[in-house]
Structure 1
C-alpha cells in the first residue's frame, strides 16, 4: 500500500499482511452537509510562486500550488457541485492505494463551483487549512464546508509533492513523494502558507476578505504547519492543531496568540509526545487542550469516513480499521469537527462568547478539557 490515503495503515500495520482485496460494488463518499445558514461556493486556483524554486523537484521549476476557496455564496442554483477530488486525481489516488479507479466515487461535495460570494455579509474572516502528510486538501472538506456555511472564507492548500495527488489545470497529476524529512516538509509548508497569505488580496475578487482576521488549522503535519506558520507570520491571529505534531525550535518558543491543541489518547497525543507537551507549556496566549476520547489519529477530517469505506475492498478487518480511526463512532467524530473549530474561530476571530470552550459539555461527553 502506498503512503497516501492509507498512510496510517502502513505505519500502524507494517508488521501485518493485508488480506486479498474483495470484489465489491462502487461506493460513494458522502460528506455530511453543512448546517450553517449560507449555501457554499468554491473555486480552485492555480498559484505559482515566481520567487521560489520547488524544493522537492529536481527540474528547477518554480513552486506551484493548487488551492481551493470555500465561502458563503449568494446563489447556487445554476452552479454544479464540486467533486471531493477532481476525477484524474481521484483515479490516480485510488490506483496508488491498490483500489480500482472508480471503486470509491469522490464526485460530490456541497460546494458549488464558481458560485458568486455573498457580498451582502460584509467583511469575512479568512481561515487557512493545511492537511496531513501525504494527504490532500480535500481531506478537510467536511469541516471546511461547515465553516464556509457559517460565513468564513476558507483557503485549503495542497502542498505539491507532499500532498497525495495534485491535479493542475493543464491535466497534470503530480503524486506525492515518500516523505521522510518532516522538518523540511514543515519549512516548505510554512513558505507555501506565507505565499498564499501574500496572494489573498489578489484572490479577493469581491473585496470582502478581512485580512485583519486570519486563522489557520491543520491535521497532523498540518498542525505543525499551523503552529510554525504562526511563529513565522503574525498575520495569523489564531491556530488550531488536530492531533498535530510540532518540530524543532517551534516546539520550544512561546507562541503568544490563541491556540487550540486537539489530541487523542494514543500515539502523538499530549501524554505520549514530549515535543507537544513542551509546545503546550510554552504557550503564552489563550490556550486549550481538548482530548477526544475513543479517537485515533485518523478520526479527524474526512478520513473517518473514507478509511472504513476502503477497508472492505482492501481486505482489512474491524480491528485494523479501529487502530487507525479509533472506536469513536464516525457520527460523533464528525459532530466534534463541526462544533469545536467553529466555536474556536468564532471566539477569536469574531469575539463571540463560546460556552462550548469554557468546560465539559453534556453534548460532548467524549471531550476532555485541559487549560
Structure 2
C-alpha cells in the first residue's frame, strides 16, 4: 500500500462507550481512551497494484470487529486483502457509515439464539461478504479486481473462529480456516472439510480439554494443526490484552504471556498458515516446536 489516505480511527466513541459498558461495567474509563487508540490503518488508501488473496476475519460473540485489528493490519501489510466483519446485533455496538450505532439484541438471549445457530448465521454473513466483494457486476468495493477469488481464507476469534467450520462446510470457495480459541458448536462434517487445511490455536486448558476440539481433530482429513500458547488466556489472540495494559485493567489470573508477545505469536502463526496454504510459501515454523517461539506447543494425536 502506498502512503496515501488519512489515519483510520480504531473505533467510534459511541462503539467504544458501549463496549466498555458491556465488558467493564461500572468503569469510569472514558470511551475516548479506546476510540482514540492509534492504528496503522489509513482510510481511502490506494493499494499497490496486483491481485491478492482474500482473508475474512470474524470477532468473538458480543465483540466488535475492532478486537482483532492488530491481526487484520498485519495480514494486510503482508499483501492480503482483509475483510474484518462486524456482525450487527451480535456485538456491543456496530457503527454504520451514516453515524448510527446499533446495539446487541441477542447477547443475553442464548435460549432463543443458541451458539450453534449463531455460528451458522455467521457462515451466511461471511459468504455474503465474499459475494459482495468478488461480484464482477455489482462489486461492493471499487477495487474488487485486486482480489484473487481463487484464494480465500477465513479466520476468527472465539465464536468467530468456530464459525470458520460452517463457513468452509457450506462455501467451497474458502480454501483454508483458522479458529482462535473458539468452542465449535457446529462440528466438522463427516467429509472433514474435503481435506482443506484447518488450524486451531488456543490457550492452555489443563485436564479440561475442549471436547469440540478433540472431535474436530479426529474429523479433519487434510493438513491440520492444533497449537497452544503457554501462559495465554481466551482474549490473548485479540487486541484486548494490549488495551487492558493501556487502561490499567489486570489480566486474568494465570496469564503470563505478555500482551505484546501474544500479538506477535498470533500474527506470526496465522500469517504462516495463510502463506503456506494460499500462497504456497514454505513455513517451517508450522512443522513443529522451535526455540524462537518456546511458548508454542503442538498437539500430538
**TM-score, normalised with respect to structure 1:** 0.72
Map of 1:61 onto structure 2:
none
- Unaligned runs of 5+ residues in structure 2 are none
The Cα of 1:328 is off from its aligned counterpart by 0.9
- Unaligned runs of 5+ residues in structure 1 are 1-72, 313-317
8 Å Cα contact 2:232/2:257 also seen in 1: yes
Counterparts of 1:168 and 1:353, CA distance in 2: 40
The Cα of 1:200 is off from its aligned counterpart by 1.1
Q: 1:344 aligned to 264, 267, 273, which one?
A: 273
Deviations 1:86-136 (A, max 9, x none): 2232233334443343362322311010111212xx210000000001011
Q: 1:196 aligned to 123, 126, 129, which one?
A: 129
Map of 2:203 onto structure 1:
264
Larger Rg: 1
1:99 is aligned to 2:27: yes
Map of 1:364 onto structure 2:
293
The DSSP-based 3-state class of the residue aligned with 1:99 is coil
Deviations 1:284-337 (A, max 9, x none): 01001111111111111101212344455xxxxx5xx223x8221122211102
1:289 is aligned to 2:226: yes
Mapping 1:118-267, distance limit 5 Å: 118-119=48-49, 122-177=50-105, 178-179=107-108, 180=110, 181-201=114-134, 202-206=139-143, 207-250=145-188, 254-255=192-193, 256-266=195-205
Counterparts of 1:164 and 1:93, CA distance in 2: 5
Answer 1 or 2: higher relative contact order, Cα 8 Å, separation at least 6: 1
Larger proportion of strand: 1
Counterparts of 2:34 and 2:221, CA distance in 1: 45
The Cα of 1:251 is off from its aligned counterpart by 6.4
**TM-score, normalised with respect to structure 2:** 0.88
Deviations 1:178-197 (A, max 9, x none): 24221121121111111111
Root-mean-square deviation over aligned CA pairs: 2.0
CA 1:243/1:172 → structure 2, altered by over 3 Å: closer, same or farther? Answer: same
Counterparts of 1:273 and 1:135, CA distance in 2: 22
8 Å Cα contact 2:14/2:31 also seen in 1: no
The DSSP-based 3-state class of the residue aligned with 2:257 is coil
Map of 2:45 onto structure 1:
115
The Cα of 1:253 is off from its aligned counterpart by 5.4
The DSSP-based 3-state class of the residue aligned with 1:215 is strand
8 Å Cα contact 2:119/2:186 also seen in 1: no
8 Å Cα contact 1:252/1:279 also seen in 2: no
The DSSP-based 3-state class of the residue aligned with 2:3 is coil
